Amino acid sequence: MDKEQLFQAAAQSIVDADESRAMHLLEESKREGFDLLEVLMDGFGAGNEVLGERFDKGVISLPELIYAAEVMKNITAKILEVLDEDQRERIVSDRGTIVLATVAGDVHDIGKGIVASTLRTAGFKVVDLGCEVKVETILDAAEKYDADIIGTSALLTSTLPEQKKLEKLLVERGEKERFITMVGGAPCTTRWARKIGADGYSENALDAVRVALELIERRKSRQEDSHEQTD
């Protein structure tokens, strides 16, 4: 099996939630001497992206999503165990640090889990706080981990105010400019993000990666322009 064939098979193992197949392909990658970081990003990671797309379109069921997400989590952990320190550093901190949480009052965690996994595969360091997290706890974690982005998920209309509450708390603490904020979840929209003062909205896992990269690049550009004006 050549590299491209192995990548395709690895992606399909995630889509099929076939952990036995995924682990077999990992062992084959080792025997063939393939770059395991590349296998994770372009092989298994590609399957994770397909998984996110299918879930967002309603093609796969919730149980299928749960099983597949667990396979992706386990294969990622297995690969990270054997990567050297430099490679691990490349995969967890190339892009920036993101703190993710489902807001207080909301127990939905699966969709956020897919977003977290996809962001990690894209090179972000992700701190996933889980579900039913108070805004104070979210902000404290962002400060602790010196996050670039705070991402919150609200799957219930009744919990949307928690996202607004976070924006208000950032202003009260004088940290609105320190952190980029992103929102997501079924009742969220771009309009809602603008209304509460969030920096971005993502509709699905792939969109979350795109928006996160854009927002970080935009902030870097502003910082560079500011430095040039100061000089």
20-36 pLDDT, tens digit per residue, is 999 999 999 999 999 88
Map out the domains of the chain with their CATH numbers.
Answer: 1-91 (1.10.1240.10), 94-231 (3.40.50.280)
Amino acid identity at 98:
I
Structure tokens at 61: 């069921």
Q: At what angle do helices 62-82 and 110-121 cross, to 10 degrees?
A: 30
What pLDDT does 51 receive?
80
CA distance 76 to 43: 11
Mean pLDDT of the region 178-182: 97
Q: Which two tokens stand for residue 42?
A: 């372009």
pTM exceeds 0.75 for this model = no
Q: For all residues of the chain together, what is the average pLDDT?
A: 87
Q: How does strand 180-184 pair with strand 96-102?
A: unpaired
| Structure-model confidence comparison of residues 176 and 45, the more confident one | 176
